[in-house]
Amino acid sequence: MASSITGSHFEGLVLGLLMFWYFSSMGAAINNGNSGGVPAVYVVGDSLADVGNNNHLLTYMKADFPHNGIDFAGGKATGRFSNGKNAADFIAEKLGLPSPPAYLSIKSSIGSSQTFSTGINFASAGAGILDATHNGECLSLNKQIDYLSTTYAAMVEKNGNEQAQAHLANSIFAIIIGSNDIFGYVKSNGNTTPQQFVGSLIYALQGQLQRLYNIGARKFAFVGTGPVGCCPSLRRQTESNDCNAEANSVSDLYDQAVLSLLQELNSQLSDMKYSFFNTTFAMHEIMDNPTDYGFTEVKAACCGLGDLNAKVACTPFSSYCSNRTNHVFWDFYHPTQATAGILTAKMFEGSVPHVYPVNVRQLSAL
């Protein structure tokens, strides 16, 4: 018992020292920002953006082992479900910011020269809009927002409400969520209609976006789920390895409903700005014209085992392709670094129908 209490007190002291150090540096960052005018990027979402939060959870949903990270700096797995960088990394890079650290890894970075005043990544593999999605195996979107709220409270305590609000108002909040909820619905063959299911997602998401706004978020970069039925795992379940039409249909309904929700919130909250990325349009451009983007394989995963390399996940025992730049998918669910980079470039430089109403670069300047 005594040992447990001592360990708890030590962890609390360590985290407290880190938060003091972090928010001391935050004051300067709030005033100085970066050359592009965006002081920070805060990320919430799922495995498409997780940079290591799940490494710190008791869960099977991890990517902290080979062959993940084979093309990342140092060639080591970091917790990213990718051969290299993921969307969160590229978004930060495009904003001229370092990739924000995983929230749950902050306490392990004491003594580092890097400050985290340029953002934090709360994304967690397996996360969904609904708390029931992979419950207990990840940080749900609600839990991620809880952690953001805790972070904000510490920010206010150190720098004052005015500075903290100015910092968040000028920051980009990247949101990549919804795929896991859709996968769960399609696999469950539930009794609700797709419209009813999407309605339940949007009802929950509305409250979550409102919570982000109440904390101080003003610039939302929302990434649509896209053609989730075209990932290798769902292709493998069809007779001809085509895209899963049901999953794509539900995803389309969700993306349309998200865009309508963002428009509604924008009309109610005059200082709320957003950019919605049409992942479906962008992915079909890539899959329909792969050679234009340097790809030769659009169906099979680079890393895995079985049909389309999608029967078994990417593990140290899986085979993997020698050229990751010509594969759209890294494993049975996730894109390669090459694909993530192309999609992010479209987020920042594209126009309608890639993005609506503005791209992320334009959003950052508002």
Helix (H/G/I), strand (E/B), else coil: 309: helix
CA distance 119 to 38: 10
Rounded to whole angstroms, the Cα distance separating 303 from 337 reads 13
DSSP 304: E
**Own/partner pairs, 238-246, CB within 8 angstroms, 24+ separation:** 241/299, 241/307, 241/308, 244/186, 246/186
Query: How big is the chain, counted in residues?
Result: 366
334 is catalytic: yes
Q: In the numeric block, which tokens belong to residue 198?
A: 């999407």
CA distance 47 to 55: 12
Inter-residue contact 178 to 258 (CB < 8 Å): yes
Rg (CA), the chain: 20
| Choice among 47, 82, 171, 233 that is catalytic | 47
Q: What share of the chain is helix, strand, coil (3-state, %, to 5)?
A: 50, 10, 40
Neighbours of 207 (CB within 10 A): 11
Indicate which residue of 46, 181, 252, 331 is catalytic. 331
Active site residue 188: no
Cβ–Cβ under 8 Å, residues 147 and 155? no
Residue from 67, 327, 334, 354 carrying the catalytic annotation? 334
| Displacement of CA 101 from its chain's centroid (Å) | 12
The reply to whether 327 belongs to the active site is: no
Which sequence positions are flagged as catalytic? 47, 331, 334
